[in-house]
Structure 1
Amino acid sequence: MSSNAPVRRRRVFYIPGYDPIPPRRYRELYRKESVAQASVSGYEIKVLPAKAQARFGWGVAARIDGAEVRSAFEVLVWSDIVKNSMNQGIIATYATLVRTAAIYIGTGALFRLMRLRKGPVIAALYPVGFLLAQLGLALLAAWGLGQIFALWHPVAAWGGLIVVPVILEWFRRQDGRFFAYYLMHDYAYSAGHLGANPPELEARMAEFTAEIAKVLQGDSDEVLIVGHSSGAHLGVSILADLIRGGHVAGDGPALSFLSLGQVVPMVSFLPGAHRLRADLAYLSARDELTWVDVTAPGDGCAFALCDPVSVTGVAPTAKRWPLVISAAFTQTLSPERWRALRWRFFRLHFQYLCAFDRPGDYDYFRITAGPLTLAERFRGRSASKSRIERPTSRYTSVAP
């Protein structure tokens, strides 16, 4: 399909980041935020039940810019893998903390990442600091209780240690507020194989690739892959496999890739990320797809405006992707809305999937439900002038 032909039928595959939450969360988020965006932007959009399919999804019927479009969404679920990786006790989590910190510090990746953006590095250090603070508070409470017990008998002072597991378990149960355990497991999962994908994730990605390959043989006008957060680097490898495997026909649907809030350097800067680096270099030079990368400096959890190919140091001479643009939260959100969100870091990391009350050319719902392909929507759009492209990674090899 020509990228400038109107879209009437679209398939959207959404790849979540490291998230243990059931996929219905994304449907409800889309339902709520699409209505909000439609009321601001003056178009019609409605979430519909999904047709029978192997994975979780939903349908969308929209009338945008006078055109009627049907989109079918599918969430490429790997939350079960995430849950299994998070299924660790308190002691195992602290052991993971030590190992993960040793990997990022020992390989030099942490210091090189700080040269790009301090926000996501601070986000990575937060769980380390907060988990150590929890342990410190527990030990302080144990010491205080031990002093009381010692008034009865000196040996009884050791009895104060009984509060340590109680306090640590309380913090663990409150992690829905603190996100320390969650973030610790997130970074640990990427670092566990020094940047290589764990076997269970590679197997799941192969399933995703096969699923998309089938759809590329269908009658959709556009097949759009959306990768959010760590889902972005999964998308890079999946798309590289699709093209290498010969699954993208010249007369088939337009193939588009939208990466949002990416954290690619957290993985690509690690020594074992040979596959990801090779896929970044390969995908960046292909003409079978359009790749637009959207981040925002206001998102402290993403490597905002960092070209993931260039900063990794694997940009080929023929590089053409991604087009790096900013969602510009301070401009696309009203001052009132920005003040309400600016310190809600986790919520801001999902703003790309939400409504903007002062939208610019980035509109998630026009992209996923409107009549233009990703290529046509951003045709002639210049990359952000403030993007970061300087090679920063110590590791650039694309083969073990």
Structure 2
Amino acid sequence: MAQVRQRQVFYIPGYDPIHPRRYRELYRKEGAAQAAISGYQIALSPKTGGGPYGWHVSARIEDAPVAAEFEVLVWSDLVRDSMSNGIPATYLQLLRTAWAYIGSGALWRLMRLRKGPVIAALYPVAMLLFQLAVAAALAGLAAKAVALLAAALAVPGLLATGVAVLAALAVLAGVLRGFRARDGRLFAYYLMHDYAHSARLHGAYPPDLEARLGEFGDRIAAALAGEADEVLVVGHSSGAHLAVSVLSDLIRAGRVPSDGPALGLLTLGQVVPMLSFLPRAARLRGDLRFLSTRGELAWIDISAPGDGCSFALCDPVTVSGVAPEAKRWPLVISAAFTQTLSPERWKALRWRFFRLHFQYLCAFDRPGDYDYFRVTAGPQTLAARFDGRPASKSRIEVAVSKYTSVQAA
């Protein structure tokens, strides 16, 4: 069915501790901006009924009325729990995460794909080490100052040494706490926790996340048994590989009815290789391989080289080394920021890396064939909208991962 009047959208965020209302407000603001640019109508209203956080969308796009129900599949509580480490524990995470990527050889292979996300991964390591170096230098100066003062006051040697050590420790702790208090601008701790979460089990999903994926699957399965014309799952950033695993589980379990709604998977700004290249990511690699052959869904992958936080135009199945001969998904398409954003807009956003990572969910002032709001609130299914659209010529389709084992279905 290509014509959609009712759509159920499930949005899976990336590694984000913030309340999901931010996504409603982003959709409201950017949807209004895109509607004004593109000449269609779109309006939000509160969600009715229970279940996860969401909202209702009423739209008239391409001269057709469409109603869409949005649900955010929340795992921000798990993210917050993983970010609850103190300063010393975060530095221990740094060592463990660096070893997970360097010791496994994954880091060098990731660098063969895109430099941007690897630099983004190295940034928190460098920034945290810089902060430690600054704190240590200031602590050393404080110790010397106390020692000089103690000598001038003829303080006994042992007592003077003890006071100098205490002063150094106090300065060290104070400077590190000061840096952490400013992490809303530096993002060093946030990114360190993000990469540590992926590397903690060397690519395997932790039990609490596996349980949450099961809950996500139940919500999507219920919608597939409902009256929507299309069920669309959107996975952004780290949410992309979670969406792959959820839908793989549903199809394997026979929970996608052949006579049910059209099923679409839209992955945006994916960072799949950060997990799939690790040695114990057999579950994810198996899901990628499985989903890439399935006819129960359409899978479109959107990214852009201008997004330095994603593995732009890297086919996540192929680069992970698990592409089967019967592979049909995903269709890898570029959002082409340098073309779909005006020169003025691109200039304003070019160095705002985190903002660009969310551009897929925002308005384009020179929209191409990708428009988030047409996809989620327009009258065509995901499959119909991109039917006949060729994959990006600049996509990367080379097996790069060292680890290619897959979990048995």
Same fold (TM over 0.5): yes
Aligned twin of 1:262: 270
Partner of 1:108: 105
Q: 1:44 aligns with which of 35, 38, 41?
A: 41
1:236 is aligned to: 244
Q: Which residue identity lines up with residue 49 of structure 2 in the other structure? A: A
Instruction: After superposing the two structures, state which structure 1 stretch, 153-162 or 137-146, moved more.
Output: 153-162
Does 2:190 align with 1:190? no
Please list the CA deviations of residues 241-297 of structure 1 after superposition, one character each: whole Å capped at 9, or x if unmatched: 111111111211000000000000000000000110000000000000000000000
Match of 1:88 in 2: 85
Q: CA shift at 1:152, angstroms?
A: 1.7
Which 4+ stretches in 1 moved above 4 angstroms?
none
State the Cα RMSD in Å.
Answer: 0.9
Alignment pair present for 1:53 and 2:67 = no
Separation in 2, partners of 1:234, 1:33: 25
1:367 to 359, 362, 375: 375
Q: Is this contact kept in 2: 1:223–1:253, CA < 8 A?
A: yes
* Letter of the structure 2 residue corresponding to residue 330 of structure 1: T
Distance in 2 of aligned mates of 1:32 and 1:383: 30
- Larger CA Rg, structure 1 vs 2: 2
In 2, the alpha carbon distance for the partners of 1:40 and 1:164 equals: 52
Tell me the equivalent position of 1:123: 120
Give distance in 1, aligned partners of 2:407 and 2:223.
Answer: 31
Distance in 2 of aligned mates of 1:28 and 1:227: 18
Match of 1:386 among 369, 381, 394: 394
Equivalent runs, 1:137-148 vs 2, <5 Å: 137-148=134-145
The CA distance in 1 between the partners of 2:382 and 2:376, in whole Å, is: 9
- What displacement does 1:157 show? 3.6
CA–CA separation in structure 2 for the residues paired with 1:333 and 1:54: 36
Equivalence for 1:168? 176
Distance 1:137 1:306 in 2: 38
Alignment of 1:59-78 (within 5 A): 59-78=56-75
Contact 1:10/1:224 (8 A) holds in 2? yes
Distance across 1 between alignment mates of 2:371 and 2:316: 22
State the match for 1:285 in structure 2: 293
**How far apart, CA to CA, are the structure 2 residues paired with 1:209 and 1:399?**
19
Name structure 1 gaps, 5 residues minimum. Answer: none
Pairwise CA distance, 1:376: 0.5
Distance 1:356 1:93 in 2: 38
> 1:160 Cα shift?
2.5
Deviations 1:148-182 (A, max 9, x none): 11212362443223101111111111111011000
SS at 1:399's partner residue?
A: coil
Counterparts of 1:88 and 1:139, CA distance in 2: 21
Name the residue aligned to 2:318: 310
Query: Which of residues 288, 297, 322 in structure 1 aligns to 2:305?
Result: 297
- Counterpart residue type for residue 35 of structure 1: A
Does residue 152 (structure 1) correspond to residue 160 (structure 2)? The answer is no
TM-score after normalising by structure 1: 0.98
Q: Which amino acid aligns with 2:129?
A: L
Asked if the contact 1:301–1:345 (Cα under 8 Å) also holds between the matched residues in 2, the reply is yes
**Residue 87 of structure 1: CA displacement?**
0.4
1:214 aligns with 2:222: yes
* Aligned 8 A contact 1:143 1:161 in 2: no
The structural deviation recorded for 1:146 is: 1.7
Gapped runs of 5+ residues in structure 2?
A: 151-159
SS at match of 2:70: strand
Q: Which secondary structure does the structure 2 equivalent of 1:11 belong to?
A: strand
CA contact (8 A) 1:7 1:222 kept: yes
Which residue does 1:344 correspond to in 2? 352
Q: TM-score, normalised by structure 2?
A: 0.96
Tell me the residue number matched to 1:252: 260
Q: Is the 8 A contact 1:12 1:225 kept in 2?
A: yes
